[in-house]
Amino acid sequence: MNSAFSTFIVRRLLALPVILIGITFVTFLLLHLVPGDPARLILGEAAQDPQVVAAVRHEWGLDRPLHIQYLQYVAHLVRGDLGLSIRSRRPVSGDLARYLPATVELGAVSFALTLLLGIPLGVLSGARERTLTDHTSRVASLLFLSMPSFWFGLILIYVGYYVLGVLPTPTGRLGVMDVPPPAFTGLYLVDSAVAGQWGLFLRSLWHLLSPAFVLALASVGLVVRMLRASMVEILRQDYIRTAQAKGLPPRAVFYGHALRNALIPTVTVLGIQFASLFGGNVLVETVFAWPGVGLYFVESIQWLDYAPVLGATALIAAAFVTVNLLVDVSYALLDPRIRYT
């Protein structure tokens, strides 16, 4: 880690707030381009009285000019205040603190499954080009990529839960009668472990596996195809032949020379996949009744509930920026030729 490298990281970190403000600005504008009035939506039938609508608009500052509304939002944002939902009067930060752990937990397990399934399959496929193993894994990855995840989720629930009764009840993070562990991080795996409730830990892991698997499949398909292509290409390079010729053991050639180089493009893909997990997946969340950020986001848009939409957008953007930074950093670790200036 040289000083140019640390400067690079600092510069990227400094850019983060600017990016976030930019993102919220664009989102704010887009939200206000949608015809519709949140006050009226929220009042529903009661919106029949213009005075009531005006009172609600005033209470939430919707009657002020747009630029003032935005500046007020930013003024609160920089102080870490994400505002209140007009619909529920709940603080957005509290809502996100509830939905985010569910999304993070699902994302993390799903990402682990992507790595565990995708990398070995991709390497195997690339190393044994045009064998039965290769063909099978290529067809399988194509299938994973093209199959709609919610459809696979539905099949999994129908067969695994309903018919065979081996998969857990698709009621989100725990079964219908389970009581969640004492809230600490909001991550049920961590909280149940901290509380020493190992039965709950296992049930929570058990509930995580199906949606995580469904969510991971498309990424697995992508990773397999990318890794296979890189492996095939790299195994034909001169430096691989040189390494083999100078008598390096096949293992060293394979892992030290081939795989390490083949991983670089895959890491980019993995980074994007990882970051996108934080945005939640509305369809998978719907099918598995998973209380994630995705549904919260979509529902807030439906009600033109500005603060939750802006808050969730900022959060997802922050996740993307951070993960991109991590990806860039990992390039340097994988390939010493990559320098940051």
Residues numbered 27-66 forming contacts with other proteins, rule: CB under 8 A:
34-38, 40-53, 55-56, 59
Least distance CB 242 / other proteins (angstroms) = 32
Which of 92, 113, 121, 215 binds other proteins (CB under 8 A)? It is 121
Mention every residue, 6+ apart, whose C-beta is less than 8 A from residue 48.
none
| Distance (Å, whole) CA 63 – CA 56 | 9
Site membership for other proteins, residue 154 (CB under 8 A): yes
Least distance CB 91 / other proteins (angstroms) = 10
Q: Which of the ranges 96-104, 107-115, 244-252, 308-316 carries the binding residues for other proteins, by CB under 8 A? A: 96-104
Site membership for other proteins, residue 137 (CB under 8 A): yes
The helix (H) or strand (E) run that includes residue 260 is helix 260-277
Which of 159, 252, 333, 338 binds other proteins (CB under 8 A)? It is 159
The angle that helices 260-277 and 306-334 make with each other, rounded to 10 degrees, is 170
Name residues contacting other proteins, limited to 195-224 (CB under 8 A). none
Nearer to other proteins, 172 or 260 (CB): 172
What's the chain's length in residues? 341
The helix (H) or strand (E) run that includes residue 269 is helix 260-277
Size of the site for other proteins (CB under 8 A): 72
Site membership for other proteins, residue 180 (CB under 8 A): yes
| Distance (Å, whole) CA 241 – CA 340 | 30
Nearer to other proteins, 213 or 254 (CB): 213
Least distance CB 283 / other proteins (angstroms) = 9
Site membership for other proteins, residue 69 (CB under 8 A): no
Name residues contacting other proteins, limited to 283-302 (CB under 8 A). 285-289, 291-292, 295-296, 301-302
Mention every residue, 6+ apart, whose C-beta is less than 8 A from residue 314.
20, 23, 24, 77, 82
Could you tell me the CA-to-CA distances from 280 to 9, 117, 156, 318 in Å, in that order?
Answer: 27, 21, 20, 14
CA atoms within 13 A on the CB side of 282: 8
Least distance CB 171 / other proteins (angstroms) = 5
